[in-house]
Amino acid sequence: MEAASASVVYVESGRMSQRKRTVIDILRGSPGFVSGQTISDNLGISRNAVHKHVNSLRERGYRIVGVSRRGYKLEEEPCRLAMPIVAKLTQNTLFGHSLRYHDEIESTNAEAKALAADGAPEGTVVIAECQSKGRGRLGRKWTSPSGKGLLFSVILRPPLPMTEAHLLTLVSATAAAEGIEAQAKIPVQIKWPNDLFLNNRKLGGILLEVSGEHDSVEWVVVGIGINVNTEFAELPAPLRRTAISLKIATGQPVDRSVLLARILLALEKSYLDAVSSGFERALRGFRERDYLLHRSVSVQTREGPVVGEAAGIDDRGALLVELPHRHIRRFHSGDVTLQ
């Protein structure tokens, strides 16, 4: 089901069952606690089933307190992007003409790829408050609590050969960094090839997926995930030493709607500049923010790890690593860790 307003299409995922909606409606209708029995009588389901629905709503960002013998109380609903504001700030732009908003989705990249394969025009943007199967690079997962991050994917149809498509990762990372810096007034670094870094921790990432034939790109999906208002306790435990959000770094909540618009505008500018004039601006933007430069790194390759000192990127976007005897090796892809 779809409902449209201006350039925003609100796509109803249909994933939230009528029962969960009713649980929310009952909790919303009461300022105090509602007993599990009242909800179970209302829905005609067991109290155990009520408990399961409540837990699943918690996973979707609803803060529901449960107290034995008193029941449940809705304390906070998940934050939503103000899409009319995003539409207004991006009106009459390429990346503002079709904003497809989902409360929940498996993956904005997967959805954007399906739309692209179906012929959706360049500049279509898929946005979600949360993803059940968010994807990262190298088969990793991307998780973010509902309403706390930015999760979106943009469809591009660049007039480029396949051999240049990967450079759009640098374009996208630089644009995302510019948008964040303008909004949060903090310097963002880029860890080659696709990570956004802040205070030595990962703030976000870019996942580029490309389709094409005979050396020409048919479509590119640029997926961007950024931890914006995520609290420290909401980061997955294994990532608490390596990840960060803008709110954790600055102590201030960030207006996600304005941030999304800023990034879309910066991305459009950098993208149009890259396809019309080449990648110099993006390469410069990357080099100004190169997180790895002069650090001792280990690049995972099929033959095993290669250790050396990061020496920037070349004009094709490849990572340069200085090995002993000043020998420079180029890497076009790979996973890099600090030594």
- Positions touching ligand BTN (CB under 6 A) are 107-109, 131, 134-137, 140, 142, 151-153, 194-195, 205-207, 223-225
Nearer to ligand BTN, 184 or 207 (CB): 207
Nearer to ligand BTN, 109 or 124 (CB): 109
Residue 56 C-beta: closest distance to ligand BTN, Å: 20
Do residues 66 and 54 make contact, with C-beta atoms less than 8 angstroms apart?
yes
CA 50, 51, 54, 59 torsion-angle sign: negative
Q: In the beta sheet, which residues pair with residue 44?
A: none
DSSP summary character for residue 121: P
Between 54 and 261, name the residue whose CB sits nearer to ligand BTN. Answer: 261
Query: Smallest distance, Å, CB 293 to ligand BTN?
Result: 20
Helix (H, G, I), strand (E, B) or coil at 174: helix
Query: Rounded distance, CA 43 to CA 203, Å?
Result: 42
Residue nearest to ligand BTN (CB): 205
Please, which residue, 142 or 192, has the CB nearer to ligand BTN? 142
Q: Residue 135 or 166: which CB sits closer to ligand BTN?
A: 135
CB of 221 to ligand BTN, least distance (A): 8
Task: Give me the DSSP letters along 5-57.
Answer: ETTEEEE----S-HHHHHHHHHHHT-SS-B-HHHHHHHHT--HHHHHHHHHHH
CB of 47 to ligand BTN, least distance (A): 36
Angle between helices 167-184 and 256-277 (to 10 degrees): 140
Question: At its nearest, how many Å lie between ligand BTN and the CB of residue 284?
Answer: 23
Identify which of residues 74 and 221 has a Cβ nearer to ligand BTN in the complex: 221
Contacts of 58 (CB under 8 A, 6+ apart): 64
Nearer to ligand BTN, 57 or 207 (CB): 207
* In the complex, minimum distance from the CB of residue 44 to ligand BTN, in angstroms, rounded to a whole number: 37
d(CA 36, CA 173) in angstroms, rounded, equals: 47
From CA 266, how far away is CA 222, in angstroms rounded? Answer: 14
Considering the complex, what minimum distance in angstroms separates the CB of residue 118 from ligand BTN?
A: 18
